[in-house]
Structure 1
Amino acid sequence: MDFPQPHIQLPIGSHTHTIILLHGRDSNGAEFAEELFSSKSSKDQGLFTALPTWRWVFLTSCDRWSDRFQENMCSWFDAYSLDDIHQRQDLQIDGLRESISYLYLGGISQGMATGLWALFCATGRSGLQGPLGGFLGFCGWLPFAKQVEALIEQRRPCGSLEIQYSVSKFFLDTLSSNEKVEETQTQTINLHILFTPVFLSHGADDAWVSVELGQQASQILKQILVHVEWHKFSGAEGDGHWIKEPEGFDQILKFLEDSVARSAINAIQ
């Protein structure tokens, strides 16, 4: 499936970092970029001006059929209901399979949901030598969260390493075009990606995606990943389905700065 060209904001001067973000349902990369860059931190800075050496890549999904709305929409996968994300989960698999093969990192709403799956499925790519610099997720959820919760509970007596392997294999199995990933292949799962630091934030008054879904994702990820930050807020624009200004952007900048510093320390070690 062909995806549209990404919307790219080039750095000013030397290029030090790249960040890849995904839009929500029925949006696109250029629209997400415009909304994100027009928001400010407490220092009256936008993300682009605060991080001038960063390259920003805003991916755009292809149009796919929505079974709920009976029309084509620009979306990463077909989410039948946001009131009950477990309803007709089978509709999500094809879109997730196609979308994660195209991307790597996080985003907002459905973009966050897709990015999380990309993060876990990256454990099946043995060429990765380490974690990503960071993952940013806003006002989203984790598809198939109940199944992952059950798997964690089942594997808890075996320890964290077994949980990481089992959860990674669940994601890979679910999207596999074959019946299942062979048992012998579990040894090739690369867990380095699970050391990627994760930042999640969600509006308590989000009218579109319940904050409980974001909190559920955060609680699950904290049992699998090494570093997860969770932030809850209220009073953001867009009926709470956005990032709170300026506090939310202060938190994003601090997370990115801390992640850069952490990466530099690890490189020295």
Structure 2
Amino acid sequence: MHTIVLLHGRGSDAEEFAEELMDSSRLSDGRSLQEALPGWRWVFPAARQVWSEVFKEFMPMWFELRDGRDGAGDSEGLKEAVTHVRGILQEERTRLGYGKVILGGISQGGAVGMWTLLSLMGEGNGDDDPGKWLGGFVGSSTWMPLGDDAEKMLDGDHHGSEFVENMMKSLSQRQSTIPVLMGHGVDDAYVDVDLGRQAARILSRVGCSVEWREYTGAEQEGHWFKVPEQMDHIYEFLKSLEAQ
């Protein structure tokens, strides 16, 4: 048995995300991911309803955006979200053996997921090494908040964000590789594909084995999974992890 923890985007919620993903987004053979992978446990955590100073309303979101665009984010809110997701992963880890827990997310959920992945990779050692128990990561239509600072740090510049430095300070000690699948619409109207490319590049540089795919013509102005092609690719990726 495997567990996949999937994080919804800003303005959505766990129930809506699960319904849209499982009921409306089908593989090319007509099955849902849940039907195609019957032995998997699907976990859809929910972000809190919080007041957004940018949008001037309450909405479900993992962290506040600085300027209303899916670019930089509030580092304190991002840190809290990462801590929350790490707790969920630890709960799932107690149920399963090594390599059985997968993390994923779309849009803002993917952004939180990637920083959660980096925080785990920076702490791994011995039996707590996430390379031994975190089986992989799936991201779609997402970006890495503070990605410019992350790339600067990888280039040896340690004068960027304190959040980035704390999250990435131990990544150079990384030994094992975590498989990653990332997809993005070149016509995404909300998160520019170049931000997705940057995120994939950063994950590759820290030791992840990244499979990057680009799509066109997805619903929600390109800011959703491309059906059925991307669903097939996600299924194939998860199936490959199941076989390991």
Task: Show the counterpart of 2:128.
Answer: 128
Distance across 2 between alignment mates of 1:135 and 1:174 = 17
Task: Show the counterpart of 1:11.
Answer: none
Distance across 2 between alignment mates of 1:84 and 1:27 = 15
Equivalent residue letter for 1:191 = R
Distance across 1 between alignment mates of 2:106 and 2:190 = 12
Once the two structures are TM-superposed, the CA of residue 218 in structure 1 deviates from its matched residue by 1.0
Task: Show the counterpart of 1:141.
Answer: 143
Task: Show the counterpart of 1:35.
Answer: 20
Distance across 1 between alignment mates of 2:130 and 2:202 = 22
Distance across 2 between alignment mates of 1:54 and 1:196 = 19
Matched, 1:55 2:41: yes
Matched, 1:222 2:204: yes
Task: Show the counterpart of 1:200.
Answer: 182
Q: Deviations over 1:212-236 (max 9, x none)?
A: 1111111221111231011100011
SS of match in other structure, 1:148: helix
How many residues align? The count is 221
Identity of aligned residues (%): 40
Distance across 2 between alignment mates of 1:54 and 1:202 = 24
In our comparison, the structure showing a higher alpha carbon Rg is: 1
Matched, 1:115 2:98: no
Once the two structures are TM-superposed, the CA of residue 43 in structure 1 deviates from its matched residue by 1.2
Task: Show the counterpart of 2:2.
Answer: 17
Q: In 1, are the aligned partners of 2:146 and 2:164 still within 8 Å (CA)?
A: no
Q: Deviations over 1:15-35 (max 9, x none)?
A: x11000000001111110000
SS of match in other structure, 1:195: coil
Distance across 2 between alignment mates of 1:31 and 1:152 = 37
Unaligned runs of 5+ in 2: 87-102
Closer/same/farther in 2, CA of residues 82 and 134 from structure 1, 3 Å limit? farther
Q: Deviations over 1:145-199 (max 9, x none)?
A: 11111122227xxxxxxxxxxx9x9646269xxxxx8xxxx59x9736x622111
Closer/same/farther in 2, CA of residues 42 and 142 from structure 1, 3 Å limit? same
Q: In 1, are the aligned partners of 2:185 and 2:217 still within 8 Å (CA)?
A: yes
Q: In 1, are the aligned partners of 2:181 and 2:212 still within 8 Å (CA)?
A: yes
Unaligned runs of 5+ in 1: 1-15, 156-166, 176-180, 264-269
Equivalent residue letter for 1:254 = E
> Which aligned runs of 4 or more in structure 1 are off by greater than 4 angstroms?
none
Q: TM-score, normalised by structure 1?
A: 0.75
RMSD: 2.6
Q: TM-score, normalised by structure 2?
A: 0.82
